[in-house]
Chain A
Amino acid sequence: EVQLLESGGGLVQPGGSLRLSCVASGFTFSNYAMNWVRQAPGKGLEWVSGISDGGDITDYADSVKGRFTISRDNSKNTLYLQMNSLRAEDTAVYYCARGIYGSGWFPWGQGTLVTVSS
């Protein structure tokens, strides 16, 4: 079964850091681009960042550029999101999602909640 499982969320103070992980199973992880998408409480979906299958190309939403870093370890089937200088507006459920070229994003993980508050 194709699956993604996020972890690493939690409560962090403004200005703090957190690293999210997303472990993939059931498919050849190194063959696919990956993305992070977030959803603030009661709000819609916002793309955060994406990375190519080999990890050499990364892309970010303006709202996180310079603060967040996406990376991957294909030997561990794991995607990461390093989040620094966190703000209250970064509070959200963070999902990882596999990108299939031309065919949408599937599957999505179950999400991990990040709360930025003092």
Chain B
Amino acid sequence: EIVLTQSPGTLSLSPGERATLSCRASQSVSSNYLAWYQQKPGQAPRLLIYGASSRATGIPDRFSGSGSGTDFTLTISRLEPEDFAVYYCQQYGTSPYTFGQGTNLEIK
């Protein structure tokens, strides 16, 4: 099983700042099938990034993904108030499909 470790666990920033979230895999992610999801309280996860760096439909360009192999990053260039939420990475290349434990992005 591929274990995904996200860091930091909690990130405290202010609107307008840049956020950098990390996701490290215990082994190489097949075909860089790495996704990022945003989840707000009481809501389902929302796909942001797939294939490590492709933005999903309707996702603002302040969200970007990068990385390959075992190290991946989600960057939010300028935080908007609606961006404060929990973010999960997921590898969907190898079963069992696993998620990271999440990064809680909170308002400072």
Contacts and interface: CB of A to CB of B under 8 A. Distances in A.
Nearest to B44: A108
A70 to B, nearest CB: 13
Contact of B90 (A45, A61, A103): A45
Contacts of B101: 44
A99 B57 CA distance: 15
B51 A47 contact: no
A50 B95 contact: yes
24 contacts: A35-B97, A44-B88, A44-B99, A45-B37, A45-B88, A47-B96, A47-B98, A50-B95, A61-B96, A95-B44, A99-B92, A102-B31, A103-B51, A104-B35, A105-B47, A105-B90, A106-B56, A107-B44, A108-B44, A108-B45, A108-B46, A110-B43, A110-B44, A111-B44
Interface of B: 31, 33, 35, 37, 39, 43-47, 49-51, 54, 56-57, 88, 90, 92, 95-102
